[in-house]
Amino acid sequence: MGRELYQLRPEAEQVFNLVGMVTGVDMVALCFDADEETLRQTQNAQLALFTVSVAAFRCFKKHIADLRIDAVAGHSVGEYAALVANGILDLGQAATLVQQRGQFMAEAGEAVPGTMAAVLGMERNALEAVLHPIEGVVVVANDNCPGQLVISGEVTAVHAAIDRAKEAGAKRVIPLNVSGAFHSPLMTGAAEELYPALDGARWQGRPNDIGPLYSNVTAEAVGREQDLPGLLKEQLFKPVRWTETIQNMRRDGITTFVECGVGDVLSGMIRRIDKEATCYRVNDLESLEQTVAALRP
């Protein structure tokens, strides 16, 4: 969770410290010392992932300051880190929004219990056909890459969908240890609560050396002129269209991706979406140095 970058790179330390000051959360203790159960709680996980992602990006950007970044994208809460990366949101403002987002989503999960499951080895159209006749709320929440989808909704409906997806030929269906039905209609209340803060945020113009954000909701490039508060509100109860996002970035000429944050899950998804894409990562000092060396002209 960014420990090495925090210890060895002042730009990463500054991110941890500023997020902690704005939110009142000890980010060092949360990211480095918290037990798994504490870190898994959505209000904690979202803030930790956001902080580490921005810290890794700031380290990367410092070393490639003369190179243009053509676009940014983030998966779910990662979209807030992407907005910080391209300058549309400042770090403190985004940290406050992420904290509120996590709190409202956690509260929604307690008020209306829901769950999620990963479905492997099915195409989206086939899975949606399986879900359609099921009573209750269950939807495709994440279209991560070919053969990897996530469903979300009411507990009984998701359990029914798990059984039917297996019968319909899914290779594996894995229940997820989550505290709510994220990216489903069960998060509508959380979205409504978050919207006033989104609408009141200070949205800025991005710098010339960083391109636009590709939105989870539309899978297309969006700019300051679009309704970003509205899109981020919708993001809570609509699916993350990651497959389409990467396909559209490739369509628009982007061939090289750098994953900043924790692990390399997104890089794996990108390679499954497009085998021709080149992926690097920045999550510790070694990967930072390797990525910078590879991208230097």
pLDDT tens per residue across span 240-281 = 999 999 999 999 999 999 999 998 999 999 999 999 999 999
Structure tokens at 152: 């979300």
114-176 — its CATH code?
Answer: 3.30.70.250
Strand runs labelled E in the chain:
72-73, 114-120, 138-145, 148-154, 172-176, 213-214, 221-222, 256-260, 278-282
Region at 263 (left for phi over 0; alpha for psi -120 to 50; beta for the rest) = left
Structural domain boundaries of the chain?
A: 3-110+185-245, 114-176
Assess whether pLDDT exceeds 70 at residue 183: yes
Assess whether pLDDT exceeds 70 at residue 286: yes
CA dihedral 107, 119, 221, 82 (to 10 degrees): 50
> What is the predicted pLDDT for the residue at 284?
94
CATH class of the domain comprising 3-110+185-245? alpha beta
Other C-beta atoms closer than 10 Å to the C-beta of 236 total 26
pLDDT digits 0-9 by tens, 136-168 = 999 999 999 999 999 999 999 999 999 999 999
pLDDT digits 0-9 by tens, 70-79 = 999 999 999 9
> What is the predicted pLDDT for the residue at 173?
96
CB 257 within 8 A of CB 279: yes
Assess whether pLDDT exceeds 90 at residue 80: yes
pLDDT digits 0-9 by tens, 191-218 = 999 999 999 998 887 666 788 999 999 9
CB 190 within 8 A of CB 179: no
User: Quick one: what percent of the chain has pLDDT higher than 70?
Assistant: 98
Which residues neighbour 155 within 8 Å (Cβ) at sequence distance 6 or greater? 113, 114, 115
Assess whether pLDDT exceeds 90 at residue 66: no
Segments in 168-211 forming alpha helices (H): 188-199
Segments in 65-216 forming alpha helices (H): 78-85, 91-111, 124-131, 155-167, 188-199
Assess whether pLDDT exceeds 80 at residue 1: no
pLDDT digits 0-9 by tens, 219-248 = 999 976 678 999 999 999 999 999 999 999
Catalytic residue set:
76, 183
Same fold, 3-110+185-245 and 114-176: no
